[in-house]
Amino acid sequence: MIVNNEYNKNRIPMKSIKLLLAVFVFLSVISTACKKEGPTKDIITYEATIVDQEALFDNSFFSSVDGLIYIGATFDPEGDSDAKINAKKIDIGCYHINSPWGLYLAAPGEAGTMSEFSYISTWSVKNMTKFGTTALTETEFDAIVDDTEIIEAASGLTATRVKILKGDVIAFITASTSANPAKKGLIKVIDIYGVQDQIYTIADLEVKIQD
């Protein structure tokens, strides 16, 4: 049998290959562990369109668990609405007041929310999300890629509702009773507009929240 010495000379022994693979896997694990233990965490970004209490189906409730808007119960004679069934997930409601006029994001358990959506009194959980204004610009919000600035902006919040205007960046922290408890986040108000001769008001939002 003819042996190709050049071929054999250039071959990497199987033991060496296994050793290299083992080192690669080890380094990968170390890298992953370091990432998890770092000072910052990943964030999740959602876009949502929320409507005030004048909308027909009260699609006025946002969940930070899945980024979905849930509908209320005013059209449902039995009260088994999406929002009621998923009450633990509902972190934010939306309503306006007339004097002086203003559009608000608020906790489901906040007095104004429960007044405008009286059926919330039948929910099993009424989360008390906390809110606050920030000095962040839309550009600064767009540049956020981890939770460093979110943690800073959403510290020490006490308000259970906040008035919003186009261009605002709002901080919030979910309640301990939420399905997504004690998570800090930021909301950018992309736009606010009325439809059908201002019968109801819509807010387009972008939300960044701790994963």
Residue 177, judged by CB atoms within 10 A of its CB (0-12, 13-18, 19+), counts as: middle
pLDDT score at 67: 95
| Listed range (95-99, 124-128, 187-191) with the worst mean pLDDT | 95-99
* Domain range for 98: 43-210
Q: Which residue has the tokens 């994001």?
A: 105
Whether residue 161 is found in the same domain as residue 194: yes
pLDDT(5) > 90: no
**Residues 6 or more apart whose Cβ sits within 8 Å of residue 40:** 146, 147, 148
Q: How many domains does the chain have?
A: 2
Whether residue 24 is found in the same domain as residue 83: no
Give tens-digit pLDDT for 59-112. 899 999 999 999 986 665 555 568 989 999 999 999 999 888 899 999 999 999
Whether residue 149 is found in the same domain as residue 114: yes
Whether residue 76 is found in the same domain as residue 20: no
Whether residue 75 is found in the same domain as residue 173: yes
Whether residue 19 is found in the same domain as residue 99: no
Whether residue 26 is found in the same domain as residue 65: no
Whether residue 91 is found in the same domain as residue 165: yes
For the chain, what percent of residues have pLDDT higher than 70?
74
Whether residue 27 is found in the same domain as residue 57: no
Give tens-digit pLDDT for 6-34. 434 444 444 443 333 333 332 332 222 22
Give the global pTM: 0.77
CA distances from 12 to 4, 21, 23, 26, 146 (A): 15, 13, 16, 21, 43
3-class DSSP assignment, residue 119: helix
